[in-house]
Structure 1
Amino acid sequence: MLLGLKNAHLRIANTVLLDAAEFTLVAGERVCLVGRNGAGKSTLMRVLAGEQNLDSGELIRAQGIKLARLQQDVPAAQAGSVYDVVADGLGEIGALMAEYHQIAHAAQPDLSRLAAVQARIEAHDAWNVESQVQAVVTRLDLPADTAFAALSGGQKRRVLLGRALVSSPDVLLLDEPTNHLDIPSIAALEDLLLDFSGALIFVSHDRAFVRRLASRICDLDRGRLSNWVGGWEAYLRGKAEALHAEAREQALFDKKLAQEEAWIRKGVEARRTRSAGRVKALLQMREQFSQRRNREGDVRLAVQEAERSGRLVAQLDAVSHGFDGRELIRRLSTTILRGDKIGIIGPNGAGKTTLLGILLGQLTPDSGSVRLGSKLEVAYFDQLRAALHDEEMTAIDAVGDGREFVEIDGNRRHVISYLQDFLFTPDRARVPVRVLSGGERARLMLAQLFSKPSNLLVLDEPTNDLDMETLDLLEEQLIQYQGTVLLVSHDREFLDNVVTRSLVFEGGGTVGDYVGGHADWLRQRPAPAPVAPSPPLRPSPTPAATPPAARPALDARQRRELDALPRRIEKLEDEQAALAARMNAPDFYAGERAAIAQVEARLLEIERELAMAYARWESLEALR
């Protein structure tokens, strides 16, 4: 075991975050930590990193273990170049290499100082560290000499990931690693982490990311940690079954408690015959009921719909627009009609927010024409949370805007009552925005958004910081919404579940228009142009020939392979489910260590085989 918790207890203020929690991590595991916003996932990561003390219990760490952590928030005061920040992950030796790099890359290097630093590096026999830092900088495609402070949020997170990876840790802790990353960067991060040889614990609400990486799901719910081996689907099934069993058990307990309470309140004659043991049991049941931690209610989302807009929402004809000498959009023509749900996809800086501005009539393009529809009532979710710019205002201020009541679907509701639909207690609704967590701020933005009637929803990265249950509810509301949706997101599964069309920035100002979501775009996008073959060394004239018949998209061998893949995938998934059930048995970890390791290794191998099989299936299907 590399890392673990034994009977861990932790309370912060009035909230119990860990309640007799147990956890183990073995080499090669990739564990995703899930739970509702505010459940304590980031705090647990700090505990595992040794940065937060437990009230009681034990943190177990293997001797000599190297551990690195990527925190959720980017530090505001981080100074130095990209190279400096990455090298900082190596401690004192890294700082020495950063100093050498600064001097060597200066316009006029101080040669005497450079020689002194070189001597110190040689004294530590640390020249190999330079190659470690350079390898990470190259692998993550980082601008080594750029000031860290000048980078975008997504670039900063990649640099901080480099700082965590440079020491080749045994255990890597990542808290929301995909926040602020675009889809290509997320895919590259997945490949990097699949190649990572150490153990991984990560917090993420990106379901596609979790599906591809996690070998085990660890759920933090009301202070308790529960484990599901076998990936995301196994967790969804197991969690639903566990909640159903808990609800049934609590209903039986409550029924028996009510019966005993009725018995104890009977008349005088009954009291004379009361059993002392039965009274004692009732007192114990009362104590058990008082100590119960009931599951917090679900967020209740309801989008208010305004009067229908005109059939036409927006029409673009040969629209082009650039910024700072760079062409972002080239001759885009498209029509958006009432009820369309449009995904806008592209890397960071491609021009997605610019396109939103043009579609909403807030920005005049350099050329081309824009025609907007009638009766548009727009509700806008801004990824920068600009509506919460005043960090001293409360949730009540943000939604009520000085009013005690809001009008929701024709019903007058008190602001606090409405905020409770978004899991804000009365006390929490009165605290300043600056003390709210990222998840609470995201829910507050949704509360603001849905408090106003609309027929055009504009959502710019709405999924950041939302827990998975809230994401599911938001998806459901957007699918049922009768108005028009413009959605910018890097969450691939969210896009696939919600949008009916995608406008995709494909480079060089080209914006492709595709039916469906992200996965549909991957299937439909043009194949890269083939590389022209080199001319022969001794060209000779050849007789004219009739063009060969068009080759079928799939040859016989490929068709046989495609036909066999579903059976292979089914067989692998059956074996995966059987191994997961075996590992979830209470006595599994009491067995021989070699047998346990063999099962764990086979499970990881199955995941790799499944990933390859699905990728091959998708590539062959694309050739049909």
Structure 2
Amino acid sequence: MPLLTLDKISLAFGMHPLLDGASLLIEPGERVCLLGRNGEGKSTLLKIVSGEVTPDGGVIRFEEGSVLSVLPQNLPSGDARTAYDVVASAFPETGELLVEFHHLSHQVDDASMERMMNVQERLEALDGWRLDQKVTTILGQYGVDPERTLNTLSGGWQRRVLLAKALVAEPDILLLDEPTNHLDVPAIAWLEDALTQFRGAMLFVSHDRAFIRRMATRVVELDRGQLVSFSASYDKYLELKEKALEEEERQNALFDKRLKQEEVWIRQGIKARRTRNMGRVRSLKAMRDEHRQRRVRGGTASFSVEEAARSGKLVAEASHAVFAYPEQPPVIKDLDLTVLRGDKIGLVGENGTGKTTLVRLLLGELEPTEGSIRLGTNLQVAYFDQLRGELDLERNALDNLSEGREFIDINGQSKHVLGYLQEFLFTPERSRSPVSVFSGGERARLLLAKLFSKPANILVLDEPTNDLDVETLELLEEQLSEFKGTVIVISHDREFLDNVVTDIIFLDGTGSVHEFVGGYSDWRRQGGRFPAETSGSRPDKQDKRDKDYNSTNKAASAAGTVGQSSKQKTVKLSYKLKLELEQLPAMIEQLESRVAELQGRVSAPEFYSCPPEEVSATLEQLSETESRLESVIERWMELEEQANQ
């Protein structure tokens, strides 16, 4: 029996039907990715499932006794509750008592002791100590200090606390809306690992293609009010979707041709009207109604970058540059870096490692405290802000873009502002709506429109992929690849980096900056790792150890990698470790084959028609094999690094 059934759900805002008889079944153990263009209603559908929004029509059914949890999209701001308090709040009455007892236990006055005894009695009656143990256990599993307050944690650690709250109640269904937004890569990797251990069903919205590939066992697309299911992997879904759109266009063309022929027939002269077949007339009327009710797929965004005159060949050159805030350790130290016209650079590092500071140094917005940075000539910069601070929420899209202009020049061509906004999928009516009512994706598109309307030879994009749908993402990737100027991208979207950048600059958190040729995957293949992957540090213990990247740079130098070299002492592995290193590649190959076999079985259309126990066992086996593969790869990288030292 399905865990969740949506049967002919309908919802409309004004005259615009967001959901038009949408239906969906979710079985136990499935991880369903909900895809669709910005504004199609994906977040609204999740709110309908969670009960936050009531549909106009249709039925929502849960399996009897099933538990639903939600991992919210937005992180809390200014929440002064402790991690323990947040997770305990998953149990409404018992959680409040646990939180009160937890705080009373830190007080020693008589009144507190008396109240604590009363709370203890109530907790015992509600079996509260078992829940207290569950809260403490899950916080321990996620490495979170129960006494840390949320407002002192980074976004990644806040996400851990919220996931702990969502899972502590052992839900059968978990809803997630853009869970990777604003997380750095180590936090995303941790989230993926944690979610693969979850045995319940998942329904999630995401535009992070690497995340979707790792997590989804089925793809469901929300398109023009309907839910269309693809029992396939993400890559197979893309292939099937393209074929489905081609077939739809073909059928529409045939229908339109036949309708045109019937319209010609009905408008013929006196002779035709004498012999007019009334059945054919009724058929034509039905065809007209069908054509009128057809919901045409919206157009694809189409935009280009307004390029300024070329900058000088040199954009920026740093020599032994250091930047530190007063009485603070250096954010950037001993920076030697040259940026040339046409470079496409991706900045990678955990949150708080100084990526934005480095960009400001390279653009001349900050002066180094030591060393020097020489800037090139004729630099015109356009900046994409991840916080969308460039937008005035009280003004409409038209006013945000036009700044008093009726026409704007794009690569020598004059365009009306409304027409230009339509290239970014804003209708004239939507262009006159205040930005405050826009979705995250619409705000991102508007900021891109504003960014690309300004002449620039340097584009700086800070987390540009957040909230953008896949089609707009792919177009953005294409435009950035064709852009003749310089591109500097701060992003945690692994596939976006692979598709756009030609150089990776990694900030390791100690102030050191390391440069590698290639995209994100190339950096990983060259041994690139985040400190969090090796330090295992808790959020209150910042890892200060400086990583040694000399062996990686040395190995990659044949491919043109720029690195800092130094003489290294050769360290020989013991015979036992050497033997283990020799055996690991074969083990990795076996595990990869097993993972591919299991993924093929899970992706088969008939997989979820198997008995539930067989489905659960296969999914569990896949998760365990993937975890084993990751562990073996990490061990191989560790020994390989030791062998090359």
Regarding TM over 0.5, the answer is yes
Q: In the TM superposition, what is the alpha-carbon distance from 1:155 to its structure 2 partner?
A: 4.3
Which of 113, 116, 128 matches 1:126? 128
Q: Distance in 2 between matches of 1:410 and 1:554?
A: 63
SS of corresponding position for 1:250: helix
Q: Distance in 1 between matches of 2:51 and 2:282?
A: 43
Deviations 1:11-33 (A, max 9, x none): 22222122221111111111111
Q: Once structures 1 and 2 are overlaid, which stretch shifts more, 56-65 or 137-146?
A: 137-146
Residues 34, 526 of structure 1: alpha-carbon distance in 2 compared, 3 angstrom cutoff: closer
Residues 180, 317 of structure 1: alpha-carbon distance in 2 compared, 3 angstrom cutoff: same
TM-score (norm 1): 0.89
Q: Once structures 1 and 2 are overlaid, which stretch shifts more, 313-322 or 559-568?
A: 559-568
Residues 34, 108 of structure 1: alpha-carbon distance in 2 compared, 3 angstrom cutoff: farther
Tell me which residue corresponds to 2:384. Answer: 381
Deviations 1:176-219 (A, max 9, x none): 11111111111101010001121111111111111111111111
Q: Is the 8 A contact 2:101 2:120 kept in 1?
A: yes
Q: In the TM superposition, what is the alpha-carbon distance from 1:600 to its structure 2 partner?
A: 7.3
Q: In the TM superposition, what is the alpha-carbon distance from 1:103 to its structure 2 partner?
A: 2.3
Tell me which residue corresponds to 1:222. Answer: 224
Which of 257, 277, 280 matches 1:278? 280
Q: Is the 8 A contact 1:90 1:166 kept in 2?
A: no
Residues 447, 377 of structure 1: alpha-carbon distance in 2 compared, 3 angstrom cutoff: same
Q: Distance in 2 between matches of 1:228 and 1:597?
A: 22
Alignment of 1:71-220 (within 5 A): 71-74=72-75, 80-105=81-106, 110-220=112-222
Q: Distance in 1 between matches of 2:257 and 2:620?
A: 45
Q: What amino acid sits opposite 1:25 in the alignment?
A: I
Q: Once structures 1 and 2 are overlaid, which stretch shifts more, 611-620 or 128-137?
A: 611-620
Q: What amino acid sits opposite 1:237 in the alignment?
A: E
Q: What amino acid sits opposite 1:359 in the alignment?
A: L
Q: Is the 8 A contact 1:217 1:227 kept in 2?
A: yes
Which of 310, 335, 339 matches 2:338? 335
TM-score (norm 2): 0.86
Tell me which residue corresponds to 1:394. Answer: 396
Q: Distance in 2 between matches of 1:15 and 1:557?
A: 61
Residues 144, 607 of structure 1: alpha-carbon distance in 2 compared, 3 angstrom cutoff: closer
Q: What amino acid sits opposite 1:346 in the alignment?
A: G
Residues 71, 454 of structure 1: alpha-carbon distance in 2 compared, 3 angstrom cutoff: same
Q: Distance in 2 between matches of 1:563 and 1:604?
A: 20
Q: Distance in 1 between matches of 2:450 and 2:108?
A: 52
Pair 1:42-2:46 in alignment: no
Pair 1:502-2:496 in alignment: no
Q: Distance in 2 between matches of 1:352 and 1:387?
A: 20
Deviations 1:291-335 (A, max 9, x none): 100000011121111111111111111122234623322212111
Q: In the TM superposition, what is the alpha-carbon distance from 1:599 to its structure 2 partner?
A: 5.9
Q: Is the 8 A contact 1:407 1:451 kept in 2?
A: yes
SS of corresponding position for 1:427: helix
Tell me which residue corresponds to 2:419. Answer: 417
Tell me which residue corresponds to 1:512. Answer: 514
Tell me which residue corresponds to 1:359. Answer: 362
Q: Distance in 1 between matches of 2:102 and 2:66?
A: 29
Alignment of 1:230-241 (within 5 A): 230-241=232-243
Q: In the TM superposition, what is the alpha-carbon distance from 1:474 to its structure 2 partner?
A: 0.7
SS of corresponding position for 1:127: helix
Q: Distance in 2 between matches of 1:496 and 1:106?
A: 54
SS of corresponding position for 1:22: strand
Q: Is the 8 A contact 1:228 1:235 kept in 2?
A: yes
Q: Distance in 1 between matches of 2:134 and 2:598?
A: 38
Deviations 1:223-278 (A, max 9, x none): 11111123211211111111111111111111111111111111111111111111
Q: In the TM superposition, what is the alpha-carbon distance from 1:614 to its structure 2 partner?
A: 8.4
Q: What amino acid sits opposite 1:2 in the alignment?
A: L
Q: In the TM superposition, what is the alpha-carbon distance from 1:145 to its structure 2 partner?
A: 3.0
Q: What amino acid sits opposite 1:411 in the alignment?
A: Q
SS of corresponding position for 2:91: helix
Q: In the TM superposition, what is the alpha-carbon distance from 1:420 to its structure 2 partner?
A: 0.6
Deviations 1:520-575 (A, max 9, x none): 22222368789xxxxxxxxxxxxxxxx99999999765565677778767766665
Q: In the TM superposition, what is the alpha-carbon distance from 1:602 to its structure 2 partner?
A: 4.0
Which of 336, 344, 347 matches 2:347? 344
Which of 433, 436, 439 matches 1:437? 439
Residues 470, 611 of structure 1: alpha-carbon distance in 2 compared, 3 angstrom cutoff: farther
Q: Distance in 2 between matches of 1:92 and 1:343?
A: 48
Instruction: Count matched residues.
Output: 598
Q: In the TM superposition, what is the alpha-carbon distance from 1:81 to its structure 2 partner?
A: 3.0
Q: Is the 8 A contact 1:212 1:611 kept in 2?
A: no
Tell me which residue corresponds to 2:539. Answer: none
Pair 1:428-2:411 in alignment: no
Q: Distance in 1 between matches of 2:183 and 2:164?
A: 14
Q: Distance in 2 between matches of 1:28 and 1:574?
A: 16
Q: Is the 8 A contact 1:154 1:179 kept in 2?
A: no
Tell me which residue corresponds to 1:249. Answer: 251
Q: What amino acid sits opposite 2:272 in the alignment?
A: A
Q: What amino acid sits opposite 1:451 in the alignment?
A: S
Q: Distance in 2 between matches of 1:100 and 1:193?
A: 31
Residues 150, 394 of structure 1: alpha-carbon distance in 2 compared, 3 angstrom cutoff: farther
Q: Distance in 1 between matches of 2:308 and 2:224?
A: 39
Tell me which residue corresponds to 2:21. Answer: 20
Tell me which residue corresponds to 1:259. Answer: 261
Q: What amino acid sits opposite 2:199 in the alignment?
A: S
Q: Distance in 2 between matches of 1:91 and 1:10?
A: 30
Q: Which runs of 5+ in 2 are unaligned?
A: 535-546, 549-571
SS of corresponding position for 1:310: coil
SS of corresponding position for 1:257: helix
Q: In the TM superposition, what is the alpha-carbon distance from 1:222 to its structure 2 partner?
A: 0.7
Q: Distance in 2 between matches of 1:165 and 1:350?
A: 30
Tell me which residue corresponds to 1:31. Answer: 32
Q: Distance in 1 between matches of 2:132 and 2:329?
A: 36
Residues 559, 351 of structure 1: alpha-carbon distance in 2 compared, 3 angstrom cutoff: closer
Q: What amino acid sits opposite 1:414 in the alignment?
A: H
Q: Distance in 2 between matches of 1:348 and 1:298?
A: 33
SS of corresponding position for 1:287: helix
Q: Is the 8 A contact 1:43 1:52 kept in 2?
A: yes
Q: Once structures 1 and 2 are overlaid, which stretch shifts more, 141-150 or 233-242?
A: 141-150
Q: Is the 8 A contact 2:396 2:434 kept in 1?
A: yes
Q: Is the 8 A contact 1:184 1:347 kept in 2?
A: yes
Tell me which residue corresponds to 1:308. Answer: 310
Deviations 1:31-65 (A, max 9, x none): 11111111111111111112222222210111111
Q: Distance in 1 between matches of 2:62 and 2:53?
A: 14
Q: Is the 8 A contact 1:304 1:450 kept in 2?
A: yes
Residues 129, 569 of structure 1: alpha-carbon distance in 2 compared, 3 angstrom cutoff: closer
Residues 149, 417 of structure 1: alpha-carbon distance in 2 compared, 3 angstrom cutoff: same
Q: Distance in 2 between matches of 1:439 and 1:359?
A: 29
Q: What amino acid sits opposite 2:314 in the alignment?
A: L
SS of corresponding position for 1:462: coil
Tell me which residue corresponds to 2:456. Answer: 454
Q: Distance in 1 between matches of 2:107 and 2:431?
A: 52
Q: Is the 8 A contact 1:565 1:617 kept in 2?
A: no
Q: Give me the identity figure in percent.
A: 47
Q: Which runs of 5+ in 1 are unaligned?
A: 531-546
Q: Is the 8 A contact 2:588 2:629 kept in 1?
A: no
Q: Distance in 2 between matches of 1:434 and 1:79?
A: 27
Q: Distance in 1 between matches of 2:399 and 2:349?
A: 35
Q: Distance in 2 between matches of 1:394 and 1:263?
A: 48
Q: Distance in 1 between matches of 2:573 and 2:93?
A: 66
Q: Distance in 1 between matches of 2:257 and 2:3?
A: 45
**C-alpha RMSD of matched pairs (Å):** 3.0
Residues 400, 615 of structure 1: alpha-carbon distance in 2 compared, 3 angstrom cutoff: farther
Q: Once structures 1 and 2 are overlaid, which stretch shifts more, 4-13 or 72-81?
A: 72-81
Q: Once structures 1 and 2 are overlaid, which stretch shifts more, 104-113 or 233-242?
A: 104-113
